[in-house]
Amino acid sequence: MEEDRSGARPAPPADHDQSGQRGQEQGADQAPLVCSARGCRAAPAWGLRWNNPRLHTPERRKTWLACDEHRERLSTHLDVRGFLRDVVPAAGLTGGRS
């Protein structure tokens, strides 16, 4: 097999999106959403919408999920870096990737 030296990244597997991250699969085997705080397995109550202006276009939003206990800590972590854009109820989030 010949090695690709073009520097291009290989295509992600079919169950991953274009960013190379695992997509949202439909069905009973889909894992429940959990808080983004390290070690926390609580259901999220909040979506922390953010972007890193050095990496992302202004309209791009990434999302961390937060339970009530970790909302403040995760929000502060993003805010002190200038990344936090808004906080929305998790129930209002759509399943699309951004």
Span 27-76, pLDDT tens digits: 455 778 999 999 999 999 999 999 999 999 999 999 999 999 999 999 99
Position 23 confidence tier, pLDDT thresholds 50, 70, 90: very low
pLDDT at 12: 47
- Residue 27: which region, alpha, beta or left (left: phi > 0; alpha: psi -120 to 50)? left
Amino acid at site 70: H
| CA-closest candidate to residue 70, choices 33, 16, 34, 31 | 34
Mean pLDDT, residues 4-24 taken together: 46
- Global pTM reads 0.65
Position 84 confidence tier, pLDDT thresholds 50, 70, 90: very high
Place of tokens 């972007």: 51
